[in-house]
């Protein structure tokens, strides 16, 4: 979730099987001795589209809240758990995050933002983490989302460093308009790379995808897709070997503007898929 220019991350912060087969078909055959018998070509699915089918599957795959707690860079306190599904719920294979305006004093968000809490909402993060390295040099993250885009709404599907920030890659991020921000931080110049795409009715189902590929000892190439079409290709510096959280959250206000809506806001996801591959 992009909140420039302030360095805002908490400082602690696959190609699919079909595409892999297509890519492999265009490459010359490599002798088995060169490939190594201990490294067969394979794709390993870490998060299957069925993870939102029921709460048992969900809780085996996902954790409630952010990895670092229940607040971040907007005016939300994330609420939810195994016995509280008011803001994080499942139905017919769909995850729904709901943001509700609150009027009671509920403190402030985490430093350095310290914004007054005006909403309760939902965030989840995956138990598995992304780690691009020599063993798994290609990662594929995708899903379908119905995202709010009104003033003061800030939904996201993103990855960020477990032990440091950067790295960060935003696969879905709306900040109060119908523009999705595909972001990478940082690029080889130490800056943000952003592909900002106008989306027709984000509140309808659209697919979002990022494919990370190791291209050097330190860097990755990230290809971002919307509804199956390539929207941007970025280079992420120093992503290799750094574990990253996978997060879905509905933040409010902050970079998306104030005031936010008075009525409930909904953010839905389905078909989440995360896989790692090696050629």
Long-range contacts from 98-106, C-beta under 8 angstroms, 24+ separation: 98/122, 98/250, 98/264, 98/265, 98/266, 98/267, 99/153, 99/250, 99/252, 99/260, 99/264, 99/265, 99/266, 99/267, 100/264, 101/260, 101/261, 101/262, 101/263, 101/264, 106/77
Instruction: List strands edge to edge, sheet with 153-161.
Output: 62-64, 123-126, 244-252, 153-161, 168-173, 179-185, 192-198
Is 168 an active-site residue?
Answer: yes
Active-site residue (options: 59, 144, 173, 253) = 173
Catalytic residue among 144, 168, 221, 262: 168
Q: Please, what's the largest Cα pairwise distance for the chain? A: 67
- Active site includes 253? no
List residues with catalytic annotation: 168, 173
């Amino acid at each position: 979730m992009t909140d420039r220019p302030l360095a805002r991350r908490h400082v602690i912060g696959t190609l699919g099987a079909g595409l892999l087969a297509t890519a492999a078909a265009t490459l010359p055959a490599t002798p088995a001795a060169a490939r190594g018998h201990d490294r067969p070509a394979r794709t390993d699915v870490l998060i299957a589209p069925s993870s939102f089918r029921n709460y048992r599957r969900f809780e085996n795959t996902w954790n409630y809240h952010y990895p670092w707690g229940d607040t971040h860079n907007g005016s939300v306190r994330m609420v939810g758990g195994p016995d509280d599904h008011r803001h994080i719920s499942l139905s017919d294979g769909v995850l729904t995050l709901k943001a509700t305006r609150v009027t009671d004093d509920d403190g402030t968000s985490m430093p350095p933002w310290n914004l007054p809490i005006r909403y309760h909402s939902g965030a989840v993060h995956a138990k598995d983490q992304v780690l691009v390295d020599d063993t798994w040099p290609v990662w594929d993250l995708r899903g379908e989302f119905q995202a709010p885009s009104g003033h003061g709404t800030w939904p996201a599907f993103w990855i960020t460093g477990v032990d440091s920030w950067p790295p960060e890659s935003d696969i879905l991020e709306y900040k109060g308009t119908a523009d999705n921000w595909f972001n990478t931080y940082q690029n080889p110049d130490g800056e943000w790379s952003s592909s900002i795409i106008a989306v027709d009715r984000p509140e309808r189902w659209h697919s979002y995808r990022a494919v990370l590929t190791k291209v050097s000892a330190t860097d990755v190439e990230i290809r971002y897709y919307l509804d199956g079409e390539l929207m941007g290709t970025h280079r992420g510096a120093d992503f290799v070997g750094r574990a990253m959280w996978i997060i879905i959250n509905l933040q409010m206000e902050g970079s998306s503007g104030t005031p936010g809506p008075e009525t409930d806001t909904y953010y839905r996801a389905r078909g989440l898929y995360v896989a790692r591959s090696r050629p």
